[in-house]
Amino acid sequence: MNDDLRIARAAKVRPIVEIADSLGLDAYELDLYGSTKAKVKLSVLDRLACAARGKYIDVTAITPTPLGEGKTTTTIGLVQGLGRLGKRSLACIRQPSQGPTFGIKGGAAGGGHAQVIPMEEFNLHLTGDIHAIGAAHNLIAAAIDARMLHERNQSAASWEKRGLKRLDIDPYSITWNRVLDVNDRALRHIVLGLGKRVDGVPRESAFDITVSSELMAILALSSDLKDLRARIGRIVIGYDRTHKPVTAEDLGVAGAA
């Protein structure tokens, strides 16, 4: 049998609109990303609110081995088998992280004739959600260090004059690291704020992989934009020196993120 890449490139890709139609979705309910990718609009939930419930099958496994153990391949194969039996079926899987894709584990699109295509687009960028999460996450991280810097360099009177509350963040309590969708070993433990006084407050920190961001979990669990905004506002980034939690809402960046 050919390798995964040759199988993926030799496959004839059906237009995503055609696939959506076979699932009972209308074209206007899609946000298209070319002819092979799309997002389904939330409005479809309202249209199908009274529809009969389907069956949900959870595919899980042991803690992943260095090379993976086949959860995605099994999931895709199961959906293909159900489709072969005439069932209207689809798979809900995660988007691969770019870090493991370029590591020993490789991509996470399945394998053989049970894989997601176009494989390269799925593994590397898809609809850009991971990159958007990374930008939003690092915006919050930048706001944390900027706030600590300005509170250190400006008097309490100047903050009070502008009607702003001092957060007095304890740098040792900060749990909000920066993120990157690359396995970069040199960034696992870092020191921030080195240089001149205007360059920040020196402290130890780290980079995490982007998909571990709390924002990614919020994006997956939110029911609408209002719910998304509320959940982001409740994110706890650390604590002040009296051990009270400091949130993204306190920082004033929840809406921007």
245-247 vs 236-239, strand pairing mode: antiparallel
Q: Is the pLDDT of residue 145 over 70?
A: yes
DSSP 3-state percent helix, strand, coil across the chain (nearest 5): 45, 15, 45
* Res 60: pLDDT: 82
**256 assigned to some structural domain:** no
Q: Which amino acid is at 148?
A: M
Same domain, 69 and 151: no
For the chain, the domain total comes to 2
Domain, as residue range, for 83: 4-124
**Single residue among 89, 124, 159 that ends a domain in this structure:** 124
**Single residue among 63, 92, 124 that ends a domain in this structure:** 124
Kindly indicate the confidence band of residue 62, based on its pLDDT and cuts at 50, 70 and 90. confident
**32 assigned to some structural domain:** yes
Same domain, 175 and 116: no
**Single residue among 95, 124, 153 that ends a domain in this structure:** 124
**244 assigned to some structural domain:** yes
Residue 97: which CATH number? 3.40.50.300
- Computed over every residue of the chain, the mean pLDDT equals 91
Residue 142: which CATH number? 3.30.1510.10
Same domain, 37 and 88: yes
Pick the closest to residue 15 from 28, 40, 32, 1 (CA basis). Answer: 32
pLDDT tens sequence across 87-128: 999 999 888 888 888 887 788 888 889 999 888 899 888 999
